[in-house]
Amino acid sequence: MKLMTFTVPCYNSAGYMSKCIDSLLKGGDEVEILIIDDGSKDETGAIADRYEREHPGICKAIHQENGGHGEGINQGLKHATGKFFKVVDSDDWVDEKALRRVLSAIRGMKAGEEADPIVCNYVYEYADGSPSKPICYRHVFPDGKIVRWADTKPFGPSEYLTLHSAIYRTEILHCCGRVLPKHIFYEDNLFVYDPLPLTEKVLYLDEGFYRYLIGRPGQSVNEATMVKRWDHQMLVTKEIFKAHDLEALRGKNPKLARYMNHELALMMTIATVFTRLNYTDEAESEFKKLWAEARALYPKTARRMRWRSIAFF
């Protein structure tokens, strides 16, 4: 079994995907790299095929009709054979030193004592040459030690686990069974959030593993794009809210429930802000429906969200 599966969703990524894949190849035979060609119209598919030919047993090209980023993750998970699963977007890359430490940590895990997620730092790399900005979790988790959620410290107000920081054990994702929606942006928040109640043990490695490029034209995290796609934010946030009863989880795993409540509040705030910035009657109506549905489904959690979220007012 491979130690790690990397899934690289690609859509018209010919101009930059090689930097991403080349960084993953530093893992050698212990990794597999699934390059998902999401119905690209440029040379992405041909580049994926070339990597498969040149690196047999490591790279695999998977071609699909256009289904969006989430469907790329779905297909990657469907074909994954690695013990751990990591999504790396095609315009991002990983740090070689950190990759070697992650693989060494996985290699050293004993059967039955594996971490469920591995958490690493990630680094904002700015396209305009601005200084890099690392996002760290060293005051939440001890470095290099597998711990249970009860042994963790509180997350800071603006901190949460992301697609860039979380590496899930593949079995956890299969047990979760979440199928991400097609043609929807920001679904990566659901991908990270939904499996959390299935996790028990966490390993944090204080390494700048994931390098997250900011500032490429057309990115989904551009503010104007996020306002335009308010309905995507709304759909994903509704799915996140429906995913788990945090009041029930609070009695079983209070620290995990506290963190998930923290992340849910952040997602509700983001969805509300960008929906209201749309300044349309439709968006305002959906904002009200979001909170009405939340109150109807999990009233205690919704009430907590309401009074903690400045975006409600």
Q: What is the pLDDT of residue 310?
A: 46
What are the φ and ψ backbone dihedral angles of 57, each rounded to 5 degrees? Answer: 85, -10
Q: What is the mean pLDDT of each run of 10 residues along the chain (313 residues)?
A: 97 97 98 98 98 98 98 98 98 98 97 96 94 96 98 90 98 98 96 98 98 77 77 94 95 96 90 85 88 91 72 39
CB-based contacts of 142-147 (< 8 A; 24+ apart in sequence): 142/204, 143/204, 143/205, 143/206, 144/105, 144/203, 144/204, 144/205, 144/206, 145/203, 145/204, 146/109, 146/113, 146/115, 146/201, 146/202, 146/203, 147/201, 147/202, 147/203
Could you tell me how many residues make up the chain? 313
State pTM to two decimals: 0.94
Strand 59-64 vs strand 31-38: parallel, antiparallel, or unpaired? parallel
Tokens 């009657």 sit on residue: 281
Q: Which residues of 185-209 are buried (b: 16+ CB within 10 A; e: fewer)?
A: bbbbbbbbbbbbbebebbbbbbbbb
Taking a C-beta distance cutoff of 8 angstroms, is the pair 6, 28 a contact? no
Q: What is the pLDDT of residue 221?
A: 59
Integer Cα distance of 72 and 88 in angstroms: 11
Structure tokens at 7: 């899934």
